[in-house]
Structure 1
Amino acid sequence: MMHPVRETRRPTASFAVGFFVREMTFETFHRLIETHRADGHAHLFVPVFRRVGADLLTPVSAFLRLRSMAPDAFLLESVEGGEKLGRYSFLGARPYLRVEVRGERVVLHHPDRSEKSATDFFTTMRQLLRRYHPVSVPELPRFTGGAVGYLGYDMVRQLEHLPSPPPDDLELPDARWNFYDTVVAFDHVRHQLVLMAGVFVEPDTELHAAYDEAVARLDMLSDMLAQASLEVPEPVALPAAPLTSNFSRNAFCEAVCRAKEYIYEGDIFQVVLSQRFAMPYTGDRFNLYRALRQVNPSPYLFYIDFGDLALIGSSPEVLVRVEHGRAEVLPIAGTRPRGRTPEEDQALEAELKADPKEQAEHLMLVDLGRNDLGRVCRFGTVQVDRFAFVVRYSHVMHLVSLVSGELASGYDALDALAACFPAGTVSGAPKVRAMEIIDELEPTRRGVYAGAVGYMDFSGNLDTCIAIRTMVVRNGTIYIQAGAGIVADSEPEREYEETVNKARALVEAMRVAASGLL
């Protein structure tokens, strides 16, 4: 049921943040809490919100204002099918908690202290996200607060026994998730900002004081976004040094040949081998994101700043999405470049759909997605909603399928994430044996690449993409990793070139950022 909110309009001194639309009143705040307490919920998360006009502001300019005054900021955007802007963009800064994982050690970093968790990552996250019952406000966007971060590929070692891990040369955290109780959403349909300040309500919380503190946070956000001046980062030229790789061309081709031997011997049907490129970079990291969103718009655009580490990505592929108890995966396998004319584009689509190798590989990964969901979904509910349809992006087109199922009793979004992790499209099939072969043939651990990036909320929902087409920026270096699916008839040189081509869009974004053409 929709609850009444204040509908009066009031002037604002802000040029960027437009007219006031409405705000949750204390009366509504109080009524929602009392209703949920009567239902037996003692610990609540209530998003106090304010809507304001924002036709003179963009997600990029808002982020630049936000990050100048608050640390550890994030920006999540979406371009559906590579061509249509998703309804909401989400921004946040100043997390109240960070969860960091290295091996089996899980540490909770609070603003004033750190403590080691007594449980594993998945149990820790489940406890943190379930502690408070979320109060739903129907008119708000799907994400009103929760955790934003990544699960590195090597987190699979907590889920499966992989006996021979390669060297961990970058020594990145296996996972990092920041918890945010204050979030800004861009509503691109209404051209409004939705400012949300979450309140954690305990049985003894003084409600007037809690509401006033939330409104003060909304005022702070409004002031940040209303700054008249905007400091736009200057471009910095890329060094003349070429990209370096953790594989030589010959070594990669030899790894492909060895992988094919495993296929001939019946160990696997497919395995994804990848190489990691690196280049020095001393410019503003956010310029890379600004360039990437222009060069390669995708369903999952993200910039997550952890201070010592930034993730910048334009992933096309869902890892797993859970909303209201329904889980979805969208395996992608099969690629062609975009045509230079509409006629050439259509011809390339027809060629992709008719290619038996692409179809066979796609079917294998759809079956793997069905099996993954079948581990946590109610029997008989897993289905292929759409099979092998073509989705176009700025540089390429892909074959995509949608597989979904209803979570079984006793399973939640974190179970679905664990069941589907890592995706078959970045590991292989059968998955565990493919990962053992990846450990043998790749020279270093993958780190963030082929893991998961996204958010989890207090309502039990989760939206994660596969960490591909992703830059990791750390200590003045950009790392880009790209892979190729190896099957029985793979040609080593062509697979090597595929990894180089997949990295090309990110390299192009780096050059755009350096050129100042933003």
Structure 2
Amino acid sequence: MQSICEVITLLTKEELQNLTSQYEYLPVRYQFSIDSFNPYKIVESVDPNHQQSMVFSHDDGNATTVIVDPKKIITVLDNQIVVKERDDVYQTTKNPIDFLNDYYQRHRTVKTADGFHTGLIGYFGYDFSKYAHNHLPKTHDDLGLQDIELFEPNITINYQNHEVTLTKLIPSNDFEQSFEQTQEELKHFATRLKQLLAEEVETTEYVDITESFHNQFQQVEFSEKVDAVKRHIYDGDIFQMILSNPYQTKAKGSLINVGKYLEENIYSPYHFYFAHDRFEAVGASPETLIQKTDDKLFSYPLAGTRRRGKTKEEDDFFADELRHSPKEQSEHNMLVDLGRNDVGNISEIGTVKVTKYMELLKFSNVMHLGSKVEGIAKKDITPIDIIAKTLPAGTLSGAPKLSAMQIIRELEQRKRGIYGGGIGYIDFSGDLDLCIGIRLAYKQDNNLVVHAGAGIVTSSDAHQEFHEFENKSRVIMDAIKEVEAQHDFIN
């Protein structure tokens, strides 16, 4: 039995009304306390066909946002922008950075609390970078992956510390009537949520793999790619590059239970599930792309990897080996420098600093070396501009970044999609939080992809780097297999 305590919170009607001349839209909120919260119950109940929903958790599930039945859906592919609002569809052709900046400025509103409450949530793919760097060539794409997919919620469901906050934007020019109607709407929605969370929800779809996984590059071809990267390094084109090698197979069903399994069983700073139309993605990302809270910016580059040991002694051995590896230290230092440069491009002069350096971070299947870079955001910079200047992270491209990205396109000959992109939100208050698209699987139609990469420097061993894909992919592969096994057991 769940205990519930309700209260209408934060800005009062009078306080909001005083802001109508400053903002075109204002947030109305409703809050209640609850003992337990299962975001996947909400998705399964409201969006059983997994067509338009998202779960995004930060701080290992302690702060969770759920979006179901969004008000608007924005998709971008090769400068073609489509905005769907229920049955209405608007299309335009322009640079999405300009479009999203205009959209953000029109909807900008007052901040009511940290976290996501009003704004855009979804993902910016790795290939979003081509809109900031026009000379990057188009990448081959067999799967039809979007460059950007974002939801603007009708009602945002935000859970933190046993508090559920419901938020909806209303137009300032119709404040009096909209405020009262929205209060009633949020109350009714809260009642519905409490009923859903109290009920047992039967899962209707599991993922069903119909073929064996295969890599894009097998060992021999991958070794040739590594040699090509090294030649570019010797020629002075780059210092380091992340070469990816996705696993792919055919599958039926939904990934939603893989997302649920990751959330409940795998420690990671971020978890996410995204579903729109024929596309689904799940992941447990350990790495922040960029986070902005008020005027403070944070980035957490991870570089240097070892698998977890099977015993404490083996785990300690791998940790010591990682800490003292010249190759891993060199790679990490290059990417911390690149992270400082990225944060420096969006920060006030003199505010960038490394506050944590080369710390050992242990996750379920691998361990990494991690650092933390901070800065103070430039006064008038928008969240969209911040993303455009930081995506992709150096830890998913290389150094120098632009040269590495050009070589990645040449060698991989495949669109990365959500892998290496940014997943998370832009709040209309100006805050944002995006994790990097790693430790993930995505499914487009019946094509299932588990994507991972390895950092290549002159001292890299191609055989060892090939097995790094296995280590980085194992947590997702194991989750898929576990969910499949649960389904087989139930049946």
| TM class, shorter-length | over 0.9
Q: How many angstroms does 1:215 deviate by?
A: 2.3
Give SS of 2:460's match: coil
- TM-score when normalising by structure 1: 0.88
Map 1:294-443 onto structure 2 (within 5 A). Answer: 294-443=264-413
Q: Select the residue among 88, 106, 120 that pairs with 1:113.
A: 88
Question: CA 1:513/1:127 → structure 2, altered by over 3 Å: closer, same or farther?
Answer: same
On the 8 A contact 2:26/2:110 being kept in 1, the answer is yes
Give SS of 2:248's match: strand
Q: Deviations over 1:193-245 (max 9, x none)?
A: 22x13132322x15144322342243134214404643322575744631023
Q: Select the residue among 262, 271, 278 that pairs with 2:232.
A: 262
Q: Does 1:125 align with 2:94?
A: no
On the 8 A contact 1:153/1:451 being kept in 2, the answer is yes
Aligned to 1:185: 158
Q: Distance in 2 between matches of 1:406 and 1:460?
A: 13
Greater displacement, 54-63 / 286-295: 54-63
Q: Distance in 2 between matches of 1:184 and 1:240?
A: 35
Q: Distance in 1 between matches of 2:172 and 2:313?
A: 62
Greater displacement, 95-104 / 347-356: 347-356
Q: Does 1:154 align with 2:139?
A: no
Q: How many angstroms does 1:484 deviate by?
A: 0.7
Q: Select the residue among 448, 456, 459 that pairs with 1:489.
A: 459
Q: Does 1:32 align with 2:7?
A: no
Question: CA 1:47/1:345 → structure 2, altered by over 3 Å: closer, same or farther?
Answer: farther
On the 8 A contact 1:186/1:192 being kept in 2, the answer is yes
On the 8 A contact 1:273/1:483 being kept in 2, the answer is yes
Aligned to 1:103: 78
Aligned to 1:22: 7
Q: Select the residue among 182, 186, 190 that pairs with 1:213.
A: 182
Aligned to 2:202: 232
On the 8 A contact 1:235/1:515 being kept in 2, the answer is no
On the 8 A contact 1:370/1:403 being kept in 2, the answer is yes
Q: Distance in 2 between matches of 1:223 and 1:505?
A: 35
Aligned to 1:12: none
On the 8 A contact 1:235/1:513 being kept in 2, the answer is no
Give SS of 1:450's match: coil
Q: Does 1:50 align with 2:31?
A: yes
Q: How many angstroms does 1:445 deviate by?
A: 1.6
For 1:46, the aligned partner's letter is: P
Give SS of 1:449's match: coil
RMSD (CA atoms): 2.4
Question: CA 1:177/1:42 → structure 2, altered by over 3 Å: closer, same or farther?
Answer: closer
Q: How many angstroms does 1:163 deviate by?
A: 5.1
Q: How many angstroms does 1:341 deviate by?
A: 4.1
Q: Distance in 2 between matches of 1:257 and 1:488?
A: 9
For 1:186, the aligned partner's letter is: Y
Greater displacement, 244-253 / 445-454: 244-253
Q: Does 1:467 align with 2:467?
A: no
Q: How many angstroms does 1:149 deviate by?
A: 0.9
Q: How many angstroms does 1:141 deviate by?
A: 4.7
On the 8 A contact 2:242/2:395 being kept in 1, the answer is yes
Q: Distance in 2 between matches of 1:70 and 1:255?
A: 38
On the 8 A contact 2:28/2:179 being kept in 1, the answer is no
Aligned to 1:4: none
Q: How many angstroms does 1:253 deviate by?
A: 1.4
Q: Distance in 2 between matches of 1:445 and 1:49?
A: 42
Question: CA 1:247/1:162 → structure 2, altered by over 3 Å: closer, same or farther?
Answer: farther
Q: Distance in 2 between matches of 1:217 and 1:234?
A: 28
Question: CA 1:119/1:31 → structure 2, altered by over 3 Å: closer, same or farther?
Answer: farther
Q: Distance in 2 between matches of 1:289 and 1:365?
A: 29
Unaligned 5+ runs, structure 2: none
Q: Distance in 1 between matches of 2:207 and 2:396?
A: 33
Aligned residues: percent identity? 28
On the 8 A contact 2:304/2:328 being kept in 1, the answer is yes
Question: CA 1:326/1:499 → structure 2, altered by over 3 Å: closer, same or farther?
Answer: same
Question: CA 1:127/1:284 → structure 2, altered by over 3 Å: closer, same or farther?
Answer: same
Q: How many angstroms does 1:337 deviate by?
A: 2.3
Greater displacement, 312-321 / 68-77: 68-77
Greater displacement, 247-256 / 225-234: 225-234
Question: CA 1:495/1:488 → structure 2, altered by over 3 Å: closer, same or farther?
Answer: same
On the 8 A contact 1:22/1:51 being kept in 2, the answer is yes
Aligned to 1:11: none
On the 8 A contact 1:454/1:464 being kept in 2, the answer is yes
Aligned to 1:448: 418
Give SS of 1:281's match: strand
Question: CA 1:412/1:62 → structure 2, altered by over 3 Å: closer, same or farther?
Answer: same
On the 8 A contact 2:170/2:178 being kept in 1, the answer is no
On the 8 A contact 2:205/2:253 being kept in 1, the answer is yes
Question: CA 1:410/1:349 → structure 2, altered by over 3 Å: closer, same or farther?
Answer: same
Map 1:168-179 onto structure 2 (within 5 A). Answer: 168-179=141-152
For 1:23, the aligned partner's letter is: I
Q: Distance in 1 between matches of 2:483 and 2:125?
A: 26
Question: CA 1:331/1:86 → structure 2, altered by over 3 Å: closer, same or farther?
Answer: same
- TM-score when normalising by structure 2: 0.92
